[in-house]
């Protein structure tokens, strides 16, 4: 079967074709690292070159610009340029901790039982391949989009690297103000909520802010045989305990209320009643959700996670310096400055120093009653009939947040169906996507491109 010629193919054949291309992309070990010098540059270069090789029709129809090291910005000129659209995905993936724990090798792109396995199958090479497959099939027919299209494929999204900002700077310098930006984020979620059996297309309209904060304490150190009553380690441990004992307050943003309202429409019996109650009850409902577990709590409050601890270098030495890194996801109703003040207030220890490692404010809320959101809803109805469209505020971070300064309608959604186990495999073990879902995603992007 040819990897580059599928004109007139059936949806089933088209799905098999894009799956075959995806296997080759997965085989590139494009693992991004905070230290870019530690990355395998040959793998990143090979991946970028494959995009042109596997999708030659659209590659030949666009102007290609390299950004950063191996980031790609492709410009497909349309019949009009007044309302350009940016379609995004990223080439890099997170590391694999233990390849032996995978049912199939994570960088082989194995296709078994109608599924393609491998790191990046869902996050985010599957989505990338479907975007380009749709564009490639259209370009092969001589299709010209109604508006200018920019394809941006970053190479350091997983490490919050600079390539996305380079893309924004490039577009800004060219005077481009996108009508809509679409990046990964939500998905066509099965088992999205207990009692809801129909698939739900969850579209991110904002992202929580992101703050990495280091707390440090110092002490005289010394031999562990004569420990002080309260040293640097104990000081940091107390700070973490205080943060856990007094979480940030819960609140219900209007977007989150709309999330539950739409989930409640058509939900059966008591489940529907409960979801509609949550949508109406504001702070009372938010406080109730915060008691139900980690995921519901993360929907309604700023979260604080202690992710890295440091102490003494020796097992019989007292720490001269102890530290903890906090990964904080900031609710859209709060700010970086306000959260830092809240952390300081909760820690209540002037001898602990706070250092900001990185910080991003919560993203602006993209409108739900917009032309762009309606277009995504129509495309979802075409590719996944019966799926309900639900807006939500993302708890994770994407490259899309970099584009909010040049575009009002910034959405986060990859049109791939995935159940709860698949969603759990993202950044985890045994990541896979159904081949049939790749075909549906191509259908989504084909509809979208034709509708512009």
Helix (H) or strand (E) holding 432: strand 432-434
396 against 58, higher pLDDT: 58
266 against 331, higher pLDDT: 331
Using alpha carbons, select from 392, 396, 390, 325 the residue that is nearest to residue 360.
396
Both tokens of 272, joined, read 């529907």
Q: How many CB atoms lie within 10 A of CB 416?
A: 26
Residue 192: pLDDT over 80: no
Backbone angles phi, psi at 105, to 5 degrees: -55, 130
What is the reported pLDDT for 265?
84
Threshold 0.85, pTM exceeds: yes
Confidence of residue 11 (pLDDT cuts 50, 70, 90): low
Cα–Cα separations (whole angstroms), residue 267 to 1, 197, 270, 350, 377 = 44, 9, 8, 51, 19
What is the reported pLDDT for 198?
86
Residue 302: pLDDT over 50: yes
CA 71/CA 230 separation, integer angstroms: 50
Confidence of residue 227 (pLDDT cuts 50, 70, 90): confident
CA 95/CA 102 separation, integer angstroms: 13
Residue 194: pLDDT over 80: no
Calculate helix-pair angle for 125-140, 435-451, nearest 10 degrees.
50
Summarised one tens digit per residue, pLDDT across range 389-428 is 999 999 989 999 999 999 999 999 999 999 888 988 999 9
Contact 217, 236 (CB under 8 A): yes
What is the reported pLDDT for 87?
98
Contact 147, 83 (CB under 8 A): yes
Q: How far apart are the first and last CA of the chain?
A: 31
What is the reported pLDDT for 10?
56
The percent of residues in the chain predicted with pLDDT above 70, rounded, is 97
What is the reported pLDDT for 328?
97
Query: By mean pLDDT, which of 179-193, 317-331, 343-357 is the weakest?
Result: 179-193
Contact 171, 165 (CB under 8 A): no
Residue 9: pLDDT over 70: no
Query: By mean pLDDT, which of 38-47, 103-112, 185-194, 207-216 is the weakest?
Result: 185-194
Using alpha carbons, select from 16, 22, 206 the residue that is nearest to residue 127.
22
Contact 135, 168 (CB under 8 A): no
Compute the average pLDDT of residues 41-59: 98
CA 310/CA 296 separation, integer angstroms: 30
Summarised one tens digit per residue, pLDDT across range 233-242 is 999 999 999 9
């Amino acid at each position: 079967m040819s990897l580059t010629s599928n004109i007139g193919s059936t949806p089933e054949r088209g799905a098999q074709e894009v799956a075959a291309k995806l296997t080759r992309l997965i085989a590139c070990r494009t693992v991004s690292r905070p230290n870019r010098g530690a990355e395998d540059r040959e793998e990143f270069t090979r991946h970028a070159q494959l995009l042109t090789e596997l999708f030659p029709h659209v590659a030949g129809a666009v102007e290609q610009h390299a950004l950063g090291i191996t980031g790609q910005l492709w410009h497909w000129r349309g019949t009009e340029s007044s309302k350009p659209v940016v379609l995004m995905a990223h080439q890099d993936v997170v590391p694999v901790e233990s390849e032996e724990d995978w049912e199939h090798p994570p960088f082989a792109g194995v296709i078994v039982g109608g599924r393609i396995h491998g790191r990046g199958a869902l996050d985010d090479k599957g989505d990338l391949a479907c975007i380009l497959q749709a564009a490639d099939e259209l370009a092969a027919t001589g299709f010209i989009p109604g508006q200018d299209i920019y394809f941006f494929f970053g190479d350091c999204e997983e490490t919050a690297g600079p390539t996305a900002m380079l893309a924004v700077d490039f577009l800004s310098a060219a005077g481009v103000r996108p009508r809509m930006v679409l990046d990964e984020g939500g998905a066509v979620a099965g088992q999205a909520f207990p009692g809801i059996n129909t698939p739900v297309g969850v579209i991110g309209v904002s992202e929580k802010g992101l703050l990495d904060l280091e707390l440090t304490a110092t002490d005289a150190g010394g031999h562990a045989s004569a420990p002080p009553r309260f040293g640097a380690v104990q000081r940091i441990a107390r700070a973490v305990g205080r943060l856990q004992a007094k979480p940030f307050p819960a609140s219900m943003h209007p977007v989150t209320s709309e999330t539950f309202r739409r989930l409640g429409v058509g939900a059966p019996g008591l489940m529907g009643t409960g979801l509609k109650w949550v949508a109406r009850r504001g702070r009372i409902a938010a406080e109730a959700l915060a008691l139900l577990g980690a995921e519901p709590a993360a929907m309604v409050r700023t979260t604080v996670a202690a992710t890295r601890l440091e102490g003494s270098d020796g097992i019989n030495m007292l720490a001269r310096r102890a530290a903890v890194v906090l990964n904080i996801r900031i609710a859209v109703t709060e700010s970086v400055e306000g959260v830092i003040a809240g952390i300081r207030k909760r820690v209540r220890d002037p001898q602990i120093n706070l250092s900001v490692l990185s910080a991003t404010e919560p993203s602006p809320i993209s409108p739900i009653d917009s032309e762009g959101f309606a277009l995504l809803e129509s495309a979802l109805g075409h590719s996944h009939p019966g799926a309900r469209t639900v807006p939500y505020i993302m708890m994770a971070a994407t490259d899309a947040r970099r584009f909010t300064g040049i575009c009002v309608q910034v959405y986060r959604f990859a049109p791939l169906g995935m159940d709860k186990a698949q969603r759990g495999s993202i950044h985890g073990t045994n990541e896979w996507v159904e081949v049939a879902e790749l075909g549906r995603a191509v259908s989504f992007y084909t509809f979208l491109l034709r509708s512009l």
